């Protein structure tokens, strides 16, 4: 199995390290030729969604990525990656997102919470995080923190408002591999 990691900004190296700990091969996507390599799924890390959107368009990755996700490519979006899948950006996931919902950098926080499909509390690091304001019928809510939706899944798309790659806990990435990419 090989997972692509969009490496335009954000914690892409941390996602790679997490996948390495799970014994999963990965590669960085920095241009269209990287994107065109064989992959079993893709991770869109955090960063700044406006910048990511601009770079996806400038690098001619936006349309192929959108089409591949619509055709079933498994995708995991964290923080800004969550925003990229919403109804205003790639539009592949039936969600409406509130950007920077917890405020500026000073509004960043850590929480241990429940995640449907994972036993026990998981560590959640929120950095200028969004949350999901509204989900369509096909979206399964996986985690709610302080009344806000912070993780969800729609078919082969998984999103978290928090950064699981910034903690030692591997279970959210395992969930992505087992429940979204569907590796046994």
Residue 56 CA to residue 128 CA, distance in Å, equals 21
pLDDT > 60? residue 3: yes
Q: Write the CB contacts of 23 (distance below 8 Å, at least 6 apart in sequence).
A: none
User: What percent of the chain has pLDDT above 70?
Assistant: 95
Question: pLDDT, tens digit, for every residue of 71-126?
Answer: 999 999 999 999 999 999 999 999 999 887 666 555 588 999 999 999 999 999 99
Domains and CATH numbers, the chain: 2-180 (3.40.50.880)
* φ and ψ at residue 91, rounded to 5 degrees: 70, 25
Residues in the chain: 184
Residue tagged active-site, from 15, 79, 89, 173 = 79
User: What percent of the chain has pLDDT above 90?
Assistant: 87
Looking only at the bridges linking them, the beta strands covering 118-126 and 131-135 are unpaired
| Stated pTM of the model | 0.95
Q: Label each residue of 107-134 as H, E or C.
A: HCEEEEEEECCEEEEEEEEECCCCEEEE
Which comes out higher in pLDDT, residue 75 or 128? 75
Distances (CA, A) of 178 to 50, 69, 112, 182: 30, 18, 22, 5
Tell me which DSSP letter residue 59 carries.
T
Is 165 considered catalytic here? yes
Q: What is the pLDDT of residue 156?
A: 97
What mean pLDDT is reported for the chain? 94
Residue 140 CA to residue 93 CA, distance in Å, equals 11
Q: What is the pLDDT of residue 183?
A: 64
Token pair of 122, please? 């998981």
Residue tagged active-site, from 14, 89, 165, 173 = 165
Q: What is the pLDDT of residue 107?
A: 58
Mean pLDDT of 13-37: 98
Q: What is the pLDDT of residue 108?
A: 82
Q: What is the pLDDT of residue 106?
A: 53
Helix 62-70 × helix 49-58 angle, to 10°: 100
Is 37 considered catalytic here? no
Is 14 considered catalytic here? no
Q: What is the pLDDT of residue 10?
A: 87
Q: How confident is the model at residue 182 (pLDDT cuts 50, 70, 90)?
A: confident
Residue tagged active-site, from 14, 15, 89, 163 = 163
* φ and ψ at residue 169, rounded to 5 degrees: -70, 125
Mean pLDDT of 31-59: 96
Residue 9 CA to residue 175 CA, distance in Å, equals 24
Partners of 41 in the beta sheet? 3
């Amino acid at each position: 199995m090989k997972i692509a990691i969009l490496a335009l900004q954000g914690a892409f190296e941390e996602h790679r390290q997490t996948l390495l700990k799970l014994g999963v091969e990965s590669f960085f996507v920095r241009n269209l030729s990287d994107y065109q390599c064989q992959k079993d799924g893709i991770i869109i890390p955090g960063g700044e969604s406006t910048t990511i959107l601009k770079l996806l368009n400038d690098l001619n990755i936006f349309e192929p990525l959108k089409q591949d996700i619509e055709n079933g490519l498994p995708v995991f979006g964290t923080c800004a990656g969550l925003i990229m899948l919403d109804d205003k950006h790639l539009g592949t996931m039936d969600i409406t997102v509130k950007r920077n919902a917890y405020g500026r950098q000073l509004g960043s926080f850590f929480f241990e919470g429940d995640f449907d499909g994972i036993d026990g509390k998981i560590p959640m690091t929120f950095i200028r995080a969004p949350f999901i304001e509204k989900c369509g019928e096909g979206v399964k809510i996986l985690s709610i923190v302080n009344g806000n939706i912070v993780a969800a899944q729609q078919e082969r798309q998984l999103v978290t408002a928090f950064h699981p790659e910034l903690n030692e806990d591997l279970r959210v990435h395992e969930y992505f591999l087992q429940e979204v990419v569907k590796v046994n």
